[in-house]
Amino acid sequence: MATDIHRKVSPGPAAAGPDEGRVAAVRARGLVREFGGRRVIDDLELTLEPGEFVALLGRSGCGKSTLLRVLAGLDREIGGEVWVPRRKAVAFQAPRLMPWKKVWRNVLLGLPGRPERAVAERALAEVGLGHRSDAWPRTLSGGEAQRASLARALVREPDLLLLDEPFGALDALTRITAQRLVAEVWRQRGCAVLLVTHDVDEALLLADRALVMEEGRIAYETPVALPRPRTPADPGFAELRARLLDRLGVAEPAGGGDTVAGSESVAAGGTER
């Protein structure tokens, strides 16, 4: 059914489709993924600019993880066209560390050549885990394991970092620390990030742009033009949260921020696609 569009993966740090002169970190055109004849991704269009941080929201089962796997090159049974940079890395909700390898060896897992331990140690230091380099994965806390997983992504020097609910299993405090870490890594590295999350606040704290996926497409998007660093108390945050929750079909609890009344203002600032 599908053409193997990964032949079109760009060799450079960014991806440029033949239709446009501009470079982009991700470009998907008419992307389709079917499972048993059911279209989970259905004619999806998506562009990420180099260095852009984009959050992808959507109801459970709408196809977010499927899209991420396609962009990561883990799933090639697709139709349509995708351009992604060669240097890309992915981190999942479960850290997926090999229990029989020490942390630093896990970080280097799958890297081509024979990278030196110092490469792993630099990435571990970047995520605040330099002191656990020699540890076994089972001795790490959930937050530490997730940071090791992020270090494993960072040693790939990605131009595109794909994050699939990386903080989903963390407790609230650890999650805040992990979010700040990702914000800092992104600020320092300047790579494009696509973050799948169920958490609207997380999307608004981190992203330049929030997308809502519905029935296999990007159905809605809104810029998040708030100064950084952000907190949920920032002016404009509550309105954006209300707008996104509304678009996701979730009502805010009574008293939960300055709700947006009426469909006109809900649409204001965002774009239906």
Residues of this chain that interact with ligand ATP (CB under 6 A) are 35, 40, 58, 60-66
> Which is nearer to ligand ATP, 21 or 37 (by Cβ)?
37
> Which is nearer to ligand ATP, 50 or 63 (by Cβ)?
63
Tokens 């204001």, residue located: 268
CA 60 and chain centroid, separation: 16
Percent of the chain that is helix, strand, coil (3-state, to 5): 35, 25, 45
**What's the closest the beta carbon of residue 149 comes to ligand ATP, in angstroms?**
17
> Which is nearer to ligand ATP, 47 or 197 (by Cβ)?
197
**What's the closest the beta carbon of residue 141 comes to ligand ATP, in angstroms?**
24
- For residues 161 and 227, give the distance between their C-alpha atoms in angstroms, rounded to a whole number: 22
Helix ranges (DSSP H) in 36-114: 64-72, 103-108
> Which is nearer to ligand ATP, 92 or 104 (by Cβ)?
92
**What's the closest the beta carbon of residue 198 comes to ligand ATP, in angstroms?**
6
C-beta neighbour count of 124 within 10 angstroms: 25
Instruction: Quote the tokens at residue 41.
Output: 């991704």
**What's the closest the beta carbon of residue 78 comes to ligand ATP, in angstroms?**
13
